[in-house]
């Protein structure tokens, strides 16, 4: 622990401070969007988007390397593919609920396959893992600005449209009766989630994104009384998991992203076991 603190305040090691700030900024998105993803039960959709972006990354690398669109950043292609994947899945979900899982799996597989094909034709060596499995210790100040900007956008939107968001998350039919454009809200939500997934996975890695969109919110769900409190608690849990994983990874020379996920998973499983035991004890006491 003392070694991490020394590194944190070492002027020659700014990447440690950037990693800490990135974990805290990412926690805002994990807490807010993770709660929505968990409540609406669309975690599979988030997983499909996070893998489908490989198609956009591969296409952007190919267009840039061949000179068709010089200097095209891979993240631009990733965002385009992510939003398109989210809109396709969203439209199918609204029109044919029973086919949602099929479309999610199809988008997942097709997106990755398109990325592999474009990378195979891209001149030079291309390593997709560098784009899919980010390293939080390599985050730059520019990345922090992007994360902070997305945090601000998400917070403002949630604050402005919270009643509509809460209503559509729990009861679509009642929301439609009340005149709320549930389909529009759903598609906007998916688009914002897609953009957040792209930014987060290129910074902290695909495994950490999928896990942190569900585990902190799932842990918060054990004690939260409403959606807002669940968001706040998930935000706090995400911050704790991120800081704890960063400290443990640095102290034991282990991958930070993996440590964050293990930490979050251990806490979630502990809460789950405690809840199961509490229910079992309560049933035992109620049994004559």
CA distances from 27 to 32, 128, 181, 190, 237 (A): 8, 25, 29, 19, 8
Of 109, 89, 108, 113, nearest to 40 by C-alpha is 89
**Rounded-to-integer distance, Cα 268 and Cα 222, Å:** 9
**Structure-block tokens of residue 197:** 């997934």
- CATH topology assigned to domain 2-286: ABC transporter involved in vitamin B12 uptake, BtuC (1.10.3470)
**Rounded-to-integer distance, Cα 134 and Cα 200, Å:** 9
pLDDT at 287: 63
pLDDT at 194: 87
pLDDT at 235: 95
**Rounded-to-integer distance, Cα 262 and Cα 244, Å:** 10
pLDDT at 26: 92
pLDDT at 24: 92
Listed in sequence order, the DSSP H helices in 41-180 are: 43-65, 74-95, 100-121, 129-132, 141-170, 172-177
**Rounded-to-integer distance, Cα 27 and Cα 21, Å:** 10
Ordered by start, the domain boundaries in the chain are 2-286
pLDDT at 2: 67
pLDDT at 169: 77
Q: Give the CA angle between residues 213, 262, 277 to the nearest 5°.
A: 90
pLDDT at 196: 87
**Rounded-to-integer distance, Cα 57 and Cα 201, Å:** 12
Task: Report the b/e string of 121-155 with b at 16+ CB within 10 A.
Answer: ebeeebebeebbbbebbebeeebbebbeebbeebe
Q: Which residues of the chain have pLDDT under 50?
A: none
Of 208, 210, 191, nearest to 245 by C-alpha is 208
pTM for this one? Answer: 0.87
**Rounded-to-integer distance, Cα 273 and Cα 251, Å:** 29
**Structure-block tokens of residue 159:** 């604050």
Q: For residue 99, what is the enclosing H or E element?
A: none
pLDDT at 132: 63
**Rounded-to-integer distance, Cα 100 and Cα 90, Å:** 9
What confidence tens digit (pLDDT) does each residue in 249-271 have? 888 888 888 888 899 999 999 99
Beta-carbon contacts of 44 under 8 Å, excluding residues fewer than 6 positions away, are 101, 104
């Amino acid at each position: 622990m003392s070694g991490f603190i020394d590194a944190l305040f070492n002027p020659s090691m700014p990447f440690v401070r950037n990693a800490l700030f990135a974990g805290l900024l990412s926690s805002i998105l994990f807490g807010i969007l993770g709660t929505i993803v968990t409540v609406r039960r669309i975690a599979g959709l988030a997983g499909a988007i996070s893998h489908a972006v490989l198609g956009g990354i591969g296409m952007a690398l190919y267009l840039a390397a061949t000179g068709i669109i010089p200097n095209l950043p891979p993240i631009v292609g990733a965002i385009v593919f992510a939003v398109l994947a989210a809109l396709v899945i969203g439209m199918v979900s609204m029109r044919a609920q029973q086919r949602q899982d099929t479309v999610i799996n199809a988008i997942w597989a097709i997106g990755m396959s398109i990325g592999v094909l474009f990378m195979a034709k891209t001149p030079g060596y291309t390593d997709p893992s560098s784009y899919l499995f980010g390293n939080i210790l390599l985050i730059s100040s520019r990345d922090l600005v992007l994360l902070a900007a997305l945090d601000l956008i998400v917070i403002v939107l949630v604050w402005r449209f919270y009643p509509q968001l809460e209503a559509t998350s729990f009861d679509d039919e009642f929301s439609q009766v009340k005149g709320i454009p549930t389909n529009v809200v759903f598609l906007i939500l998916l688009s914002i989630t897609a953009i957040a997934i792209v930014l987060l996975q290129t910074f902290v890695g695909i495994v950490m994104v999928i896990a942190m969109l569900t585990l902190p919110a799932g842990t918060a769900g054990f004690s939260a009384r409403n959606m807002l409190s669940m968001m706040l608690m998930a935000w706090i849990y995400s911050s704790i998991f991120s800081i704890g994983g960063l400290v443990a990874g640095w102290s034991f020379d282990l991958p930070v992203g993996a440590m964050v996920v293990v930490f979050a998973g251990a806490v979630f499983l502990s809460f789950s076991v405690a809840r199961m035991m509490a229910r079992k004890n309560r049933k035992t006491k109620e049994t004559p």
